[in-house]
Chain A
Amino acid sequence: MSSTFSGDETAPFFGFLGAAAALVFSCMGAAYGTAKSGVGVASMGVMRPELVMKSIVPVVMAGVLGIYGLIIAVIISTGINPKAKSYYLFDGYAHLSSGLACGLAGLSAGMAIGIVGDAGVSFGSLRPYRGHHLVFSGRPI
């Protein structure tokens, strides 16, 4: 029964919190990027409706950040199995730091995508479109 549980008792707390951090912070970044560039697209679209579909690129980039967080959260969460494999505090802290790394990087990338996307679509409407979407890929990968 529980005698097969090997490892430290509180280690899963840190492991699960790492998975939570990965998803929550990445979603915060994705939400910020989507919202900020979405508002820019909407206000630009009033003047130039034909550019709206091209300007959705920063929104897609920001959405991908949420998927990164999802993948890391699932990998961490399925790796916490003290019955199959010993789960010590070392493993718990490692999962916590990997979750924080993914999450906080996703948060910062999302904020960057939001600010740059908003500025890019707003100013891009002033000139003919020349494919400046390359600057939107400020992502952590």
Chain B
Amino acid sequence: MAATFGDSSSWSTALVKISPYTFSAVGIAIAIGVSVLGAAWGIYITGSSLIGAAIKAPRITSKNLISVIFCEAVAIYGVIVAIILQTKLESVPSSQIYEPESLRAGYAIFASGIIVGFANLVCGLCVGIIGSSCALSDAQNSSLFVKILVIEIFGSALGLFGVIVGIIMSAQATWPAKSV
């Protein structure tokens, strides 16, 4: 492995010793784990308000399950991207694991996983908070439901941004071709 300029700093010396498969695996785990965390957080915020408000206004229950579905969609984005990322993994011969191209592929999958995971986390939280206030205001005045739902749709677009960038970045994960 040729010594490049970057090897003289301690960051680089540590980073090149970590296998790209480590980075990829952690990235995939974060993509699905943190997305599901965001979805669960949003669902419990929405669900507890919904159930409480439905005591006095039972008519709101079936309509406001849409908020729960928006939160759940965030977890599904995480699953889809995790599956896509793990199909990007290829096995390279052990002589080529620390090639610059393999390292780059590992970093790309890692960053893609972080993007999707944390974007879905904040999206789930946002949709959960708005869903809870949607349920509470719907219980007071049923004409407000559709209007607050518009705000929820803006919130759920954030998860989509994460998925788009995650998939674009995963196209950078090209491993070196096997040399026979």
List the interface of chain A (C-beta within 8 A of B): 1-2, 5, 7-13, 16-17, 19-20, 23-24, 27-28, 30-32, 34-35, 38-39, 41-43, 45-46, 49, 52-53, 56, 59-60, 62-63, 66-67, 69-70, 73-74, 77-78, 80-82, 88-89
Contacts and interface: CB of A to CB of B under 8 A. Distances in A.
16 contacts: A1-B179, A8-B5, A9-B6, A23-B119, A27-B158, A27-B162, A30-B122, A30-B158, A34-B155, A35-B126, A39-B130, A46-B140, A49-B144, A52-B148, A63-B158, A66-B158
A127 B110 CA distance: 51
B80 interface: no
SS of A interface (majority): helix
A30 B110 CA distance: 23
Interface stretch (B54-62, B82-90, B101-109): B101-109
Contacts of B130: 34-35, 38-39, 42
B115 A24 contact: yes
B3 to A, nearest CB: 10
Contact of A23 (B12, B157, B162): B162
